[in-house]
Amino acid sequence: MQKLWGGRFTKSTDSFTDHFHSSIGFDSRMYREDITGSIAHATMLGKQGIIPQADADLIVQTLGEILSDIDAGTISFDEKAEDIHMNIETILISRIGDVGKKLHTGRSRNDQVALDTRMYTKKELTEIKALLKNLMTTLNTLAARHTETILPGYTHLQRAQPVTLAHHLLAYIEMFKRDYDRLCDTYKRTDVLPLGSGALATTTYPLDRQFVAEQLGFSSISANSMDGVSDRDFCVETASTLSILMMHLSRFCEEIILWSSHEFHFIELDDAYSTGSSIMPQKKNPDMAELIRGKTGRVYGHLMGLLTTLKGLPLAYNKDMQEDKEALFDAIDTVKMCLPVFTNMIATMTVQPDVMLQAAKGGFTNATDAADWLVKQGVPFRDAHGIIGRLVLYCIEHHTNLDDLSLEEYQAISPVFNESVYDAIGVKQCVEARNVIGGPSKAMTTKAIEDNNAYLKKL
């Protein structure tokens, strides 16, 4: 097969070389973007009189037919034609001969691949945003059902202060809102048209880049052709944004794994989102959560791979850049699989409010409130901290807790105590008293859930 670039060569490439440098195995998924971009380019060439209008029309029509044929699965690509760009061009030339050879006028594969990859990334970012919105909606709905479901909040994985499940879920919604913002921001910088940059220094033809940008729905045009062909920041940014999103999913999964263990038993995962053991009949494992946690490492790996591929590249295009696609695609594919699985896993799990409440009542999660009660009686906070610390020690030694101590036991440690301390340290009171903006009280979480609903409606 004669290569499209074969003119200055006297020998054909080694067949293993063909295999080695071909990217059709992974960039064929950009066929729609490649053809759509070529249609816009050919339309512009005709409009500008760079090629005859009739030729442009034939190219556009034939590209449309090729697209339908690929969609219908009647076309197979050839590794020897290297990549999706030259495969499509080769098919075009095989169908309309010399006219097809005019498509690549004023264009290089360097600006073409940058265009296709940006178009593909824009589409995927939009899909990921929809999946993330879905997850946030699911979490917010669940939060609305659990504004009074009390569980311990932890620091150092030691019981710290009581919170509600709504409050806990709302914390994750905040993370996902930031992820959503980052996706929008990444989209902005991906939404720049590189076509017209040529190989690196634009072209001598009177291209109308503004027209192409409008045809393809780009909101801006690359301002420097050397940057236009070699900028892969949008790939790195996508991988980075997705890494942070996966980090959030992974942290949540870690909690789901802990919470579904017998030791916690705060939740029970639905059978549809758990698996069994091939040897231990009793097992019900949180494999989905573990896999998402595991796949997080894979997405981080792609971010590091992309950064490392790009770090030593001189301007402008270098073939190293072909390595961007598998990393980018796999990061995107992974997130697109994880998000719906995670969303459904959360939507179908059973919450065990009684177990959560029992856990919140143990572990002295009301100790801060007992200290705060003393402060309200005029005891300086540091002294109050010391008094309650001694009471906790007393409780540990006597296998009891603050709620069950008698007033005499309290007063033996500090005469300031009176009956009203019991009201202040009830677990529900501990939650309700935290009525500061961002706090777990029912009033605050209800307000946060309403705000989230308004936010989600606008997305």
Residue 108 phi/psi, 5-degree rounding, is -130, 160
Question: In the chain, how long is the greatest CA-to-CA distance?
Answer: 101
Per-residue contact string for residues 13-52; x = within reach of ligand ARG by CB under 6 A: ----------x---x-------------------------
| Nearest distance from C-beta of residue 319 to ligand ARG, angstroms | 6
- C-alpha 242/C-alpha 403 separation (Å) is 46
Q: How far is it, in rounded angstroms, from Cα 309 to Cα 97?
A: 38
**Residue range at the interface with ligand ARG (CB under 6 A); choices 109-117, 148-156, 433-441, 450-458:** 109-117
Given 12, 15, 219, 277, the catalytic residue: 277
Tell the smallest beta-carbon distance from residue 265 to ligand ARG (Å).
Answer: 51
Catalytic position from the list 76, 94, 156, 278: 156
3-state secondary structure of 331: helix
**Site track 307-336 with ligand ARG (rule: CB under 6 A), x = hit:** ----------x-x-xx--------------
156 catalytic per annotation: yes
Please identify, using beta-carbon distances, which residue of 110 and 243 lies nearer to ligand ARG.
110
- The DSSP line for 5-26 is TGGG-SSPPPHHHHHHH--HHH
Of 74-93, binders to ligand ARG (CB under 6 A) are 83
Name beta bridge partners: 155.
158
Q: Which of residues 44 and 84 has its CB atom nearest to ligand ARG in the complex?
A: 84
CB of 309 to ligand ARG, least distance (A): 11
Other beta carbons within 10 Å of 291: 15
Cis peptide before 316 (omega within 30 of 0): yes
Q: How far is the CB of 238 from ligand ARG (least distance, A)?
A: 16
Tokens read off for 86: 């030259």
Tell me the sheet residues that pair with 152.
Answer: 162
Q: How far is the CB of 321 from ligand ARG (least distance, A)?
A: 5
Looking only at residues 177 through 236 of this chain, which bind ligand ARG when binding is defined by CB under 6 A? none
Binding ligand ARG (rule: CB under 6 A), the pick from 110, 149, 190, 241 is 110
Task: Write the DSSP string, 268-322.
Answer: E--GGG-B--SS-TT--B-HHHHHHHHHHHHHHHHHHHHHHHHTTPPSS--GGGG
Judged by CB under 6 A, the residue of 39, 51, 103, 113 near ligand ARG is 113
Q: How far is the CB of 311 from ligand ARG (least distance, A)?
A: 17
Binding status of residue 168 toward ligand ARG by CB under 6 A: no
> How wide is the angle at C-alpha 84 spanned by C-alphas 78 and 86, nearest 5°?
75
Binding site for ligand ARG (CB under 6 A): 23, 27, 83, 109-110, 113, 317, 319, 321-322
Tell me which residues are annotated as active site: 156, 277
